Amino acid sequence: MAQGAPNRAGSQAADDMLPAGERVEVRNRFDGSWSTGFEVAEALPPPQSDAPGAYRVRRVADHAVLNAPSPPDDLRREPQRRGW
């Protein structure tokens, strides 16, 4: 599991939050596929100490911040591209 990524249960410690600027993939709520081209704009603190935080996500192409915060289970780090 990548550092900063939520575990399968979705729980995530505050010190494991993804930092602003981290490139991520976002889960498509309609079909469950993963979309690239996003980054973390802001990590939001959890509403309660035992609840997971959320993220504001920015589209890299036009720097637009998505309206709805994304829960940790809907984000994953974008894989590193490996060159030849």
Q: What would the DSSP string read from start to end of 10-57? A: ----GGGPPPTT-EEEEE-TTT--EEEEEEEEEEEPPSSTTS--EEEE
Among 59, 65, 81, 76, smallest CA distance to 18 is for 76
Fold of 19-45+53-77: SH3 type barrels. (2.30.30)
Give the domain ranges of the chain: 19-45+53-77
Sequential pLDDT tens for the chain (84 residues): 344 444 333 444 445 789 999 999 999 989 999 999 999 999 998 877 777 789 999 999 999 999 999 999 999 999 887 776
Q: Is this structure's pTM higher than 0.85? A: no
In angstroms, what CA-CA distances link 70 with 11, 74, 83?
14, 6, 31
From 32, 25, 35, 21, select the one nearest 5 (Cα to Cα).
25
